[in-house]
Chains A and B, each alone.
Chain A
Amino acid sequence: MKSIVIPALLSLLFFLPAQVVRAQEAPYFVTYDHHLEEPRNLEIGTSATVGTPGAGQSAFFAPYMELEYGVKAWWTSELYLEGQSTVGDSGVFTGWRLENRFRVLSREHRINPVLYLEYENINEASHIFKEIVGNTGDADEPVAELSKTRAHELETKLILSSDIHSWNFAENFIVEKNLSENEGFEFGYAVGFYRPLATMASAKQCRLCRENFAAGLEMYGGLGSTLGFGLHNTTHYLAPVIAWQLSDNASLHFAPAVRLTDVGSPVLFRIGYSYEVRGFGRKVARLFGGKG
């Protein structure tokens, strides 16, 4: 019962009514750019990855919740809680992740590096596909069986990102180490670009203005591991991405990702909603008697 309740709650959060979205937020789901959360702001996000069934596979629904906090202008920290439900099978809580991103250079440059460090305490039933690394395994076992295998993983990324004439170009190089099993170091990548549909803000408050939309393309996949580097038996996706700023604080993202290789779900539909609480840290500090 508990295994069904948690994904259901995550799903409920996902479908909560929207109030608002943050403008100019990158529409990427997998690729990271160099823009971090503003200091003391808290962004609450709910997203889901829906996988269509391939040969011998079942469709799945993998919701997750993100809490992203701007610790400093150069440091953003984020907690993920995730679940998964497979059609004709069961639903489970698949674990949590804690990530940190650090800007290396204090000013804007042609290429802006960001270091990313994440600890994952998940199980093998995890299907949110926040990144794709290594080779594609055989995951056709029942969810209940997969969820018994825990994975403590460390993931690092080198994020390179550039803003050129209202376009953003981002490249991520991923290295992941499963501390629970000897799988070597697994590698992956994500690259993308996007642009807002209009570059000048209008004076009026509007929801459907072009300035509230950003669109682009991202591509991501695995690159094998130290046990076998290369493209053999790896999964790669190409996804158009779009973001819609619903208001000053809220945004909606959507991306259908199409598989480019023979393994994995043929199509991943991703949708996400995020709400930003501005000055969250200041407000909490005031609660505890700080000056805020």
Chain B
Amino acid sequence: MKLALILAGATLLAGIVVAQNTQYKPDPKWVAPADAAAKKNPLAGNADALGGGKKLFLRHCAECHNGDGTGLQDAANLTLPDVQKQSDGSIFWKVTNGNMKVGMPPFARLSETERWQIVSFVRTLKADSSGTGK
């Protein structure tokens, strides 16, 4: 029992230390394939879907990207033009696949519809007026 607690504690602490990214760095290689980027959002303009997208964003994304999308230390500021200029298909692909190198988990366990709902909500996030982001 004692050994179990020691092992568990050591694993947990090691995991926490290993898991810390202290600064967000965009990954230039994290680019959606052309066919994925060209996909259109089937829920574009659907107000009901947008409300659900907000709920999903707050549940799954806000922990790292903040409720307003401005991002915490190691996650992207989704209000920046660099993000907003990407196509719906590209954002959908990034939500689906994640970028495990930098700690962004894939959200393929959400249904396709729910991922498009998140894309719809990301589109509503206001651009950062300072243009600096985080």
Q: Report whether B109 and A35 are in contact in the complex, using a CB–CB cutoff of 8 Å.
A: yes
Residue A71 CB within 8 A of the other chain: yes
**Residue contact A24 to B109, C-beta cutoff 8 Å:** yes
Chain A binder among B45-53, B76-84, B125-133: B45-53
Known A40-B19, A107-B97; contact A199-B111, beta-carbon cutoff 8 A: yes
Complex-state Cα separation, A187 to B92, whole angstroms: 39
Q: Does A115 contact B (CB under 8 A)?
A: no
Question: Interface residues of A toward B: which range?
Answer: 35 or more
Partner of B117, one of A67, A77, A79, A201: A201
Verify B112–A165 contact, CB threshold 8 A. yes
The A186-231 residues at the B interface (CB cut-off 8 A) are 196, 199-205
Most buried by A among B12, B15, B55, B98: B15
Q: List residues of chain A with CB within 8 A of the CB of B16.
A: 40, 281, 284-285
Instruction: Return chain A residues, CB-CB under 8 Å to B63.
Output: 38, 41, 278-279
Q: Name the distance in Å between B71's Cβ and chain A's nearest Cβ.
A: 13
Asked if residues A203 and B54 are in contact (CB atoms below 8 Å), the reply is yes
Q: Within 8 Å of chain A (Cβ to Cβ): is B3?
A: yes
> Given that A79-B4, A201-B114 are contacting pairs, would A73 and B52 also be in contact in the complex, using a CB cutoff of 8 Å?
no
Q: What residue in chain B is nearest A196 (Cβ atoms)?
A: B111
Q: Which of B7, B53, B96, B111 has the most CB of A within 10 A?
A: B111
The smallest C-beta distance from A259 to any residue of chain B, in angstroms, reads 30
Q: A73-B98, A200-B117 are in contact. Are A248 and B4 (CB under 8 A)?
A: no
Q: Closest A-chain residue to B18, C-beta based?
A: A71
Query: What is the CA–CA distance of A96 and B59 in the complex, to the nearest angstrom?
Result: 32
Q: Is the CB of B73 within 8 A of A201?
A: no
Complex Cα distance, B15 from A200, in Å, reads 34
In the complex, are the beta carbons of A201 and B97 less than 8 A apart? no
Instruction: With CB as the reference atom, state the residue of chain A lying closest to B73.
Output: A291
Q: Judging by beta carbons under 8 Å apart, are B55 and A205 in contact?
A: yes
State which of A67, A73, A74, A205 has its C-beta within 8 Å of the C-beta of B8.
A67
Q: Is the CB of B108 within 8 A of A108?
A: yes
Would you call B15 and A106 a contact (CB within 8 A)? Answer: no
A88 at the interface (CB under 8 A from B): no
What 0/1 pattern do residues 101 to 135 of A give for CB contact below 8 A with B? 00100111000000000000100000000000000
- Given contact pairs A106-B101, A201-B53, A290-B20, A166 touches B111 in the complex (Cβ within 8 A): yes
Q: Contact: B4 with A81, CB < 8 Å?
A: yes
Among B4, B7, B97, B109, chain A packs the most CB atoms within 10 A around the CB of B109
Of the A-B pairs whose beta carbons lie under 8 Å apart in the complex, a sample of 5, sorted by A's number, is A38-B60, A73-B103, A73-B105, A96-B1, A108-B108
B residues near A (Cβ < 8 Å) are 1, 3-4, 7-8, 11-12, 14-16, 18-20, 22, 48-56, 58-60, 63, 73, 96-101, 103-106, 108-114, 117
A residues lining the B interface (CB < 8 Å): 23-26, 33, 35-36, 38-41, 67, 69-75, 77, 79, 81, 93, 96, 98, 103, 106-108, 121, 163, 165-166, 168, 196, 199-205, 248, 278-279, 281, 284-285, 290-292
